[in-house]
Amino acid sequence: MDKRYLTAFILPKEWEVVGYRLKPYSIRKHLNLVAIESPYVTGQVPTAAETIQFLKFCASDCDSVIEIPKLNLFDHVAYARVRYYPQFHVHVIKCIVNYIREYTTGPRYRIVKRDKTETIVSRTSIPDMLGLTAICMSKLGMTEDAVLNSPIGKLTWYAAAIAALDGADVRMETDEEAAKDQIEELKQWEREQAEKLRLAMVNGKIPTRKIRIREE
């Protein structure tokens, strides 16, 4: 059985980062982060404040990022750890990226449609969020709230299955092909992030002083 399918439906371990217990990364959470241009969806280097904002929102049951409660003592302590320990902040960033990746794990596939004159091939890893919501509401009878609060990876599998059942020629990547692509993407991401972190340190966005961090 496809391991990516198991990852999406038998969801991963409970994610706890800097003491925040993160909820499943859903369409609702993703769209809120897009709306505020969070660095975690735009690909920029986050500040300590942006990291804590992400963690606090994803650990909450709030429907909107503007509903997040004010910072409490725990939040201020977490902020200080991230702000003044640069190596630890880098570790937290990697944990958050892995959390997002795990909850958005979906099939990579291409849908081949034939007409009288040509073959049209399209490929995507995560369908457009609006289209994904519409498909699950119309085909599965899910309510809008149910769709918006579901993990993105699981919904992507539903969308691929629905397309196949509707008669589309859905050609899934094999585990080996997906793994190769993921390795290449991860290497590229690590190169990009290393350069962004280097520039951020040069510009003073992340403290450059080296502090020994005790392993937890």
Q: What is the mean pLDDT of residues 9-18?
A: 75
Which residues are registered as beta bridge partners of 154? none
Contact 161, 135 (CB under 8 A): no
169 compared with 79, residue with greater pLDDT: 79
What number of helices (H) and strands (E) belong to the chain? 10, 5
H helix intervals, 64-115: 73-84, 86-103
State the pLDDT at residue 133.
84
Q: Which residues pair with 124 in a beta bridge?
A: 109
Residues of the chain above pLDDT 70, percent: 62
Q: Which residue reads 């990364």 in tokens?
A: 25
- Mean pLDDT calculated for residue range 42-53: 91
According to DSSP, residue 26 is labeled B
Residue 180 confidence (pLDDT) above 70: no
> How confident is the model over 92-109, as a mean pLDDT?
82
In whole angstroms, what is the distance from residue 167 CA to residue 170 CA? Answer: 9
Amino acid making up residue 169: D
The per-residue pLDDT of the chain, averaged, comes to 76
Rg for the chain, CA atoms, rounded: 19
Residue 212, pLDDT score? 38
pLDDT for 125 equals: 47
Using DSSP bridges, classify how beta strands 169-172 and 119-124 pair: parallel, antiparallel or unpaired: unpaired
| 91 or 106, higher pLDDT | 91
Residue 210 pLDDT: 38
pLDDT digits (tens, 9 = 90+) for 48-80: 999 999 999 999 999 898 888 888 999 999 999
The confidence score (pLDDT) of residue 177 equals: 58
| Mean pLDDT across 95-118 | 69
Short-list 156, 153, 148, 158, CA closest to 61: 148
Using an 8 Å Cβ cutoff, are 84 and 207 in contact? Answer: yes
- In sign, the C-alpha dihedral spanning 59, 65, 70, 73 is positive
Residues 6+ apart with CB under 8 A from 43: 192
Distance separating alpha carbons of residues 107 and 131, to the nearest angstrom: 16
Give the pLDDT band of residue 172 (cuts 50, 70, 90): low
Instruction: Write down the pLDDT at residue 111.
Output: 54
Collapsing DSSP to helix, strand or coil, 121 comes out as strand
What angle do the packed helices 86-103 and 73-84 form, to 10 degrees?
A: 110
